[in-house]
Structure 1
Amino acid sequence: MPLTVHQLENELFNLDLNTRAHLAEKLILSIDAPSDAENLKLWVTEAELRLADLRAGKAREYPASEVFQSLRAALA
C-alpha cells in the first residue's frame, strides 16, 4: 500500500539535512522546469526574435572565431 502524504512527510523529515536539501532542490526543479516541448517553443521564439533583430539592424552578427577569441581572453 502506498504511503500517504503525511507518512511520506514524516519519513522525509527524519532524513539528514543534506539529503532533505537535495530532495527539496529536485522537487523545486521538477516544478519549475519546462517540458521538452515548452523548451523547444521558447528557443524557436527566441531564435525568431533574434533573426528579426538582425534583419532590422538592431543586432549584429559576429564570426564564431571572434566570439571564442573574446571568451578565451575573458577567461584567461
Structure 2
Amino acid sequence: MSFEELKAEALKMSPKSRAELAKELLVSLETLSDAEIEQLWIDEAIRRDDEIDRGVAQIRPADEVFNRARNRFK
C-alpha cells in the first residue's frame, strides 16, 4: 500500500479513531534520534513545497484550518 493510499484510508476514519492512530504513530517516533526526527521534518517540508510548486496541494489560510478543527471537535 502506498503512502497516499494509506493516507486516504486513514482519512476515512472517524476523528476519534484518527486521533488515536496519530497518537500511536507519534509514540512510535519516540525511538528516533533528534537528528532522525529533524530529517523527517525537512523531508516533509520539501514534499509539501513540491506539492505547492506542482499545484497539487490544497492551500488554506491558517485561520480557516484552525476554525475547522475547533468546530470539528466541539
TM-score, length-scaled by structure 1: 0.56
Counterpart secondary structure, 1:47: helix
Q: Note the residue ranges of structure 1 that are not aligned, 5 or more in a row.
A: 1-28
Which structure 1 residue ranges, 4+ long, deviate > 3 Å from structure 2? Answer: none
Report which of the two structures shows the higher radius of gyration computed on alpha carbons: 1
Of the three residues 47, 50, 53, the one matched with 1:52 is 50
Q: Note the residue ranges of structure 2 that are not aligned, 5 or more in a row.
A: 1-26
C-alpha RMSD of matched pairs (Å): 1.5
- Identity across the alignment (%): 37
Distance apart, 1:35 and its partner CA:
0.2
Counterpart secondary structure, 1:69: helix
The aligned length equals: 46
Of the three residues 27, 31, 34, the one matched with 2:32 is 34
TM-score, length-scaled by structure 2: 0.57
Q: Which residue of 1 aligns with 2:21?
A: none
